[in-house]
């Protein structure tokens, strides 16, 4: 088995819960960044 296959196997078996928690954290950070950016652009009316 190659390195990528081993890494994928570990991420989706042994480390599934931490992997899912980190992905939810990143998703919420991205949504928050989009909302903050969108809020700022709405306040500028030229």
Q: Give the CA distances from residue 24 to residues 8, 17, 41, in Å, rounded to whole numbers and listed in that order.
A: 18, 11, 26
Enumerate residues 6+ apart whose C-beta is below 8 A from 9: 1
pLDDT at 46: 63
Asked if 19 contacts 12 with a C-beta cutoff of 8 angstroms, the reply is yes
Annotated domain spans of the chain? 3-43
pLDDT (tens digit, 9 = 90+) per residue, 1-46?
A: 899 999 999 999 999 999 999 999 999 999 999 998 886 555 666 6
pTM, entire model: 0.66
pLDDT at 43: 62
């Amino acid at each position: 088995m190659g390195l990528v296959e081993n890494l994928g196997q570990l991420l989706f078996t042994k480390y599934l819960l931490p992997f899912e928690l980190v992905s939810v954290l990143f998703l919420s950070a991205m949504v928050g960044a989009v909302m903050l950016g969108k809020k700022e652009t709405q306040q500028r009316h030229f």
